Amino acid sequence: MKTYSRRTSLRTRLGLLAAAAVAVAVTGAAVAAWLLTERQLNSQLDSNLRSVQASPAYVQGLLRTCQFPEPPAGQSTSDRTPTPYTVQVVTSDGTVCTAPGSSAIKVNASDLAVARGLRRDALHNAESENGQAMRVVTSQPDRFAESGGNYAVSIAQPLSVVSKPLDGLAWLLLGVTGVGVLGAATAGVGIARAGLRPVKQLTDATEHIARTEDLSVRIPVDGGDEVARLADSFNAMTVALASSRERQQQLIADAGHELRTPLTSLRTNIELLIRSERTGRELPAGVRGDLLTSVEAQIGELAGLIGDLQELSRPDATPGSASMQLVALHEVASRALARARLRGKELEFTCKMEDWFIWAEPAALERAVVNLLDNAVKFSPAGSTVSLRLEAGQLSIEDEGPGIPSDELSHVFERFWRSPSARSLPGSGLGLAIVARAVHASGGTVGLHAAPGGGTLAIMTIPGARTPPPKTPPRAE
């Protein structure tokens, strides 16, 4: 719990994720813009340097005196080097001639190669003697190009003309990125707060249920998005939990009620036997045997009731699970009929069955068929007939008993429900509930109806085939 309470909230995490996403996107765009601008400015600088031409008089003056010459008569000052540029002459032996007041630029091998006529021009970065970074283009005058030449002219401009605008652009982009990230974080937190409001309601409802066990809480559902579906699923879950808890409580109450009668009778009979033993007074002839027979019957009734409760408490088998197997329904019905014949020796049984193969839980299915036949035997008068038919996947069991009133047919598959006319007979009221459970797990249906000639007709229908299907259980839909 301590670890969970120290974690960052989902709302804050979403805001931070939005800020991080915007930061990555804006930073990428800013870096791309800066690199594109740098490339453009450097290209423009190189183009400008290549387009600048020093006047021949200026170059000759540098070669003669290595000093800045005065313009000859009739020559305008426009022949001098343009103000932003530095001009120097590099001879083939490496001598550098530059104007007075200008810092000479360090010469490299490419400059000497141009001065010696080994290459046409050179473009590179260099450093002046005063430590300033320069962009230099070195070329050979046209009149010396064919003869091999013996000097080259270097025209340079400080790299600061590019770096200063780039620095300003970098600070601008950095500011825009920071504002964008801050705005994205703020907007992300706000959007997360609005979007996660239903999640907060869900959290509050869950905490309320955990604290109070109140399953009546419902979350308002608005819209059809994922959050609304989550809220709707949560409401459905609480309804299912409430229904399950209600059924459990009802099962416990019904089981307690059903257990009370045999336990009370069993306790009374045992107390009579114990009192007889302690006082030494023998019970009248035959009474002791009747008591023991009653105790045996009550113990059997309790064991049957407990077995039925255990059967109903098991989780339902689902299609595709390991408990579902290929079952021959006609063989199951034959075994159940053999057991019914032993219980109803005074009855007549007729049987007509076709082969039918289904996917089911073998033990549960056989118990379901046995329960239906036991009901037919229990309520059939001596000498009557019980008919069993299996045709096209429909198992029918018909008896000639008193039948079930029409107003009670809708309750026969409820747990612990027993007809008023049958409450004096043995049974727990769980047999038909077990039948319905087994049949529904196999994808079938079951119902009780009034037989045409009187009595009760039980019809159980389970999908299958007359021949064994492939050894693959059906998938759960």
Q: What region, left, alpha or beta, does residue 324 occupy, with left being phi > 0 and alpha being psi -120 to 50 degrees?
A: beta
Q: Are 156 and 86 in contact (CB under 8 A)?
A: yes
The residues near 181 (Cβ < 8 Å, ≥ 6 apart) are 19, 22, 23, 26
Q: Which pair of tokens denotes residue 283? A: 């019970």
Q: How many CB atoms lie within 10 A of CB 322?
A: 7
Q: Which domains does the chain have, with CATH numbers?
A: 54-161 (3.30.450), 226-313 (1.10.287.130), 325-461 (3.30.565.10)
State what percent of residues in the chain have pLDDT above 70.
Answer: 79
Lookup result for tokens 């249906």: 445
SS3 category, 287:
helix
User: How do residues 373-426 score in pLDDT, each as one tens digit?
Assistant: 888 888 888 889 899 999 988 999 998 888 877 777 777 777 666 665 555 555
Lookup result for tokens 């000479």: 104
pLDDT of residue 7: 64
User: How do residues 308-355 score in pLDDT, each as one tens digit?
Assistant: 666 666 655 555 454 678 899 999 999 989 888 888 888 999 999 999
**Residue 461 vs residue 286, higher pLDDT:** 461
Q: Smallest Cα–Cα separation from 375: which of 353, 402, 346, 338?
A: 402
Mean of all residue pLDDT scores within the chain? 78
Query: Which whole-number Å values give the CA distances from 8 to 3, 23, 183, in the listed order?
Result: 10, 20, 20
**Residue 205 vs residue 386, higher pLDDT:** 386
Q: How does 384-405 read in b/e, with b if 16+ C-beta sit within 10 Å?
A: bebbbbbeebebbbbbbbebbe
pLDDT of residue 390: 92
pTM of the model: 0.46
- 170 has a pLDDT exceeding 60: yes
Rg (CA), the chain: 51
- 146 has a pLDDT exceeding 50: no
pLDDT of residue 331: 92
